[in-house]
């Protein structure tokens, strides 16, 4: 796992109150009870702050699991 993936896992874990070791590409709202609508909004804001990007509503809706978050961040210009 490279440093950027660790950074992403740490950010997600912090927002959703999880251990970073529990974060995988398949982690999603279906597998994490704290990833509800408010948790998702907090996650979007934390990712924007952490990576210095601006995400659209469409981007936020597309982030249905960690793998898709990574794709959205790359498309927004974040270096992963």
- Is the pLDDT assigned to residue 1 strictly greater than 90? no
Q: Per residue in 46-78, pLDDT tens?
A: 999 999 999 999 999 999 999 999 999 999 999
Each domain of the chain, given as residue ranges in start order, spans 3-75
Kindly report, residue by residue over 2-50, the tens digit of the pLDDT: 555 589 999 999 999 999 989 999 999 999 999 999 999 999 999 999 9
pLDDT of residue 6: 86
Give residue 10's pLDDT: 95
* Secondary structure letter of residue 27 according to DSSP: -
Q: How far apart are CA 32 and CA 78, in angstroms?
A: 25
Nearest to 48 by CA among 37, 38, 59: 59
Q: Which CATH number fits domain 3-75: 1.10.1200.10, 2.60.40.10, 3.40.50.920, 3.40.50.300?
A: 1.10.1200.10
């Amino acid at each position: 796992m490279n440093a950027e993936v660790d950074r992403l896992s740490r950010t997600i874990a912090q927002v959703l109150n999880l251990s970073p070791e529990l974060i995988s590409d398949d982690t999603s709202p279906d597998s994490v009870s704290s990833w509800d609508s408010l948790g998702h909004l907090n996650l979007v804001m934390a990712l924007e702050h952490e990576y210095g990007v601006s995400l659209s509503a469409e981007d936020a809706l597309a982030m249905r699991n960690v793998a898709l978050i990574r794709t959205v961040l790359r498309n927004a210009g974040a270096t992963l």
